[in-house]
Amino acid sequence: MAKYRCIVCGYVYDPEVGDLNAGINPGTPFEELPDDWVCPLCGATKDQFEEEE
Amino acid sequence: MKPRKLKADIYWVGAVDWDRRLFDELIPLPDGTSYNAYLIKGSEKTALIDTVDPPMTNVLINNLTQLDVKNIDFVVANHAEQDHSGALPQILKLYPKAKVVATPKCKDLLMSLLLIPESRIMTVEDRETLSLGNKTLEFIHAPWVHWPETMLIYLREDKMLFPCDLFGSHFATSDLYVTDEATVYEAAKRYYAEIMMPFRAIIQRNLEKIKDLQIDAIAPSHGPIYDKPEFILEAYRDWVYAPPKNTVVLPYVSMHGSTKRMVDYFVAALVERGIAVKQFNLAKTDIGKLAMALVDAATIVIGSPTVLVGPHPNVVYAVYLANALRPKLRFASIIGSYGWGGKMVEQITGLLSGLKIELLKPVVIKGFPTEEDFKALDRLAGEILNKHKSSVELTKGK
């Protein structure tokens, strides 16, 4: 599963870790995050993320 | 200053802040600034684009009074930051029929930052248009230049772009349009470095978004208007896309002269190798100058003495800023000195975690530099030269 980087603040979403504070369980691929999920660091929306090289 | 006519039915109605010397209690403003607001009188409706910083509300109101503006239908808030939105509450009181036009995110921020009632705000989607009769505003959502709610306006019939902070410059001037490009370039680059640089990747997207628009003039929210837009567009393309240059930025502090002696030797060693250097004494420098230098540089070398086991606090401040501004830097190193020990290197590198840089072996010495220490500095200068040379992109960017 690919990691995605927030181009606003540099936070990396790691699907292995998820985002428990937002109710996202480990193992959730980026593509399956809800549309209203936002970057836990800066609040950027999903469209501001790019796949990590 | 009085309101100024740009074109038929389009006026500048903002305020010039000649004497302001600090923004956000952080950013030096050597040339003051301006808060540009624009009035567009369509055949049916009238729109005000942005407002001014709260202390200058009366200037805006005087301008509207002088133009005998009896009714405003829309006040477009491109950006919720108070230097542009701060006069909204007064304007809404004065023009009770006016609606604020904003992105959904901007609506949220205007309600929380300025306590503007929800009923006074209408939201617009990306690429939505608003007709003023014979003039059409097209709204282009441009989040994160430099807040999450920002948008640009394209005035179709007049081919004018109102991009708010994007392309702006903190530059107080009596010129409505850019007259001296060299001066405005400096101010616009400083503005980019301090405000826009962290959002470089997003600016790339926005440049793409506006690239097919035919633009005759760009009217930003700070600084003079670009009637030759290619000047600022080309500058932004260079700052945003071009690879970093064969330059070392060297911010430093020295307390008793050891670090300064190293800096002097090291700068000479870099220059000898054909590497440009921009050196800043952090006890004295304008931090905006340092930010500007970071726009183009490939390498940062931080010079610090050791204070209370760590770097000098001024160095911490500068390194924190360099990390947060996220410039194009590729390489970093540290030079400096200590009397009896410390953790300066670990602390400085810890502060640079946001940058994708390769750390080159620091030269941190005990006491005053000796011949052996100078050799180590020569080695570091040589390594920087090799790194710069081996990067094909860098040579192209030279």
- When mean pLDDT is compared across A44-53, B159-168, B334-343, B388-397, the lowest value belongs to B388-397
Q: What is the mean pLDDT of residues B312-321?
A: 97
CB B332 within 8 A of CB B359: yes
Residue B273 above 80 pLDDT?
Answer: yes
Give the nearest partner residue to B354 out of A7, A10, A44, using CB atoms. A10
Query: What residues in B contact A44, CB-CB < 8 Å?
Result: 143-144, 148
Do B143 and A7 count as a contact with CB atoms less than 8 A apart? no
Q: Is B143 on the interface with A (CB under 8 A)?
A: yes
| pLDDT at residue B251, as a whole number | 98
- The helix (run of H) or strand (run of E) holding residue B303 is strand B297-304
Spell B158-176 as b/e; 16+ CB within 10 A means b. Answer: bebbbbbbbbbbbbbbeeb
pLDDT level of residue B394 (50, 70, 90 thresholds): low
Q: Residue for token digits 């036009």?
A: B101
By three-state DSSP, how is residue B62 classified?
helix
Residue, of B390 and A3, whose pLDDT is higher: A3
The alpha carbon of residue B173 is apart from the nearest alpha carbon of chain A, in Å, by: 32
Residue-wise pLDDT for B26-44, tens only, equals 999 999 999 999 999 999 9
Query: What residues in A contact B144, CB-CB < 8 Å?
Result: 8, 44, 48
| Cα-based distances in Å from B332 to B241, B281, B319, B369 | 21, 18, 11, 21
Mean pLDDT value across chain B: 96
Alpha helices in B116-257 (DSSP H): 181-191, 200-210, 230-241
> In whole angstroms, what is the distance from residue B100 CA to residue B80 CA?
11
B312: Cα separation from own chain's centroid: 26
Q: Is B39 left (phi over 0), alpha (psi -120 to 50) or beta?
A: beta
The alpha carbon of residue A11 is apart from the nearest alpha carbon of chain B, in Å, by: 9
CB hemisphere CA count around B142 (13 angstroms): 33
| pLDDT at residue B1, as a whole number | 77
Residue B267 above 90 pLDDT?
Answer: yes
> In whole angstroms, what is the distance from residue B266 CA to residue B262 CA?
6
pLDDT level of residue B395 (50, 70, 90 thresholds): low
Residue B390 above 70 pLDDT?
Answer: yes
Q: Residue for token digits 């304007």?
A: B91
By three-state DSSP, how is residue A16 classified?
coil
Candidates A30, A24, A28, A21; CA nearest to A3 is A30
Indicate the residue type of A39.
C
The alpha carbon of residue A27 is apart from the nearest alpha carbon of chain B, in Å, by: 25
Do B144 and A44 count as a contact with CB atoms less than 8 A apart? yes
Residue B392 above 70 pLDDT?
Answer: no
| pLDDT at residue B398, as a whole number | 41
> In whole angstroms, what is the distance from residue B229 CA to residue B58 CA?
31
Count interface pairs A-B at CB distance under 8 A.
18
> In whole angstroms, what is the distance from residue B193 CA to residue B156 CA?
30
The pTM of the full predicted model, rounded to 2 decimals, is 0.94
Q: Is B268 on the interface with A (CB under 8 A)?
A: no
pLDDT level of residue B397 (50, 70, 90 thresholds): very low
Q: Residue for token digits 């937002």?
A: A22
Residue-wise pLDDT for A20-51, tens only, equals 999 999 999 999 999 999 999 999 999 999 99
> In whole angstroms, what is the distance from residue B342 CA to residue B337 CA?
10
Q: Is B104 on the interface with A (CB under 8 A)?
A: no
Residue, of B239 and A53, whose pLDDT is higher: B239
Give the nearest partner residue to B199 out of A8, A45, A50, using CB atoms. A8
Q: Which two tokens stand for residue A26?
A: 């480990």
For A27, other C-beta atoms within 10 Å of its C-beta total 11
Residue-wise pLDDT for B154-206, tens only, equals 999 999 999 999 999 999 999 999 999 999 999 999 999 999 999 999 999 99
Which residues are bridge partners to B8 per DSSP?
none
CB B265 within 8 A of CB B243: no
| Cα-based distances in Å from A43 to A2, B110, B142, B143, B366 | 21, 17, 15, 11, 45
pLDDT level of residue B393 (50, 70, 90 thresholds): low
The alpha carbon of residue A9 is apart from the nearest alpha carbon of chain B, in Å, by: 8
Q: Which two tokens stand for residue B72?
A: 């405003």
Q: Is B202 on the interface with A (CB under 8 A)?
A: yes
Residue B254 above 80 pLDDT?
Answer: yes
Q: Is B201 on the interface with A (CB under 8 A)?
A: yes
By three-state DSSP, how is residue B12 classified?
strand
Contacts of B392 (CB under 8 A, 6+ apart): none
- When mean pLDDT is compared across B340-354, B363-377, B383-397, the lowest value belongs to B383-397
Q: Which string of DSSP letters, residue by residue, matches B216-278?
A: SEEEESSS-BBSSTHHHHHHHHHHHHSPPEEEEEEEE--SSSHHHHHHHHHHHHHHHTT-EEE
ipTM above 0.90, yes or no: no
| pLDDT at residue B198, as a whole number | 95
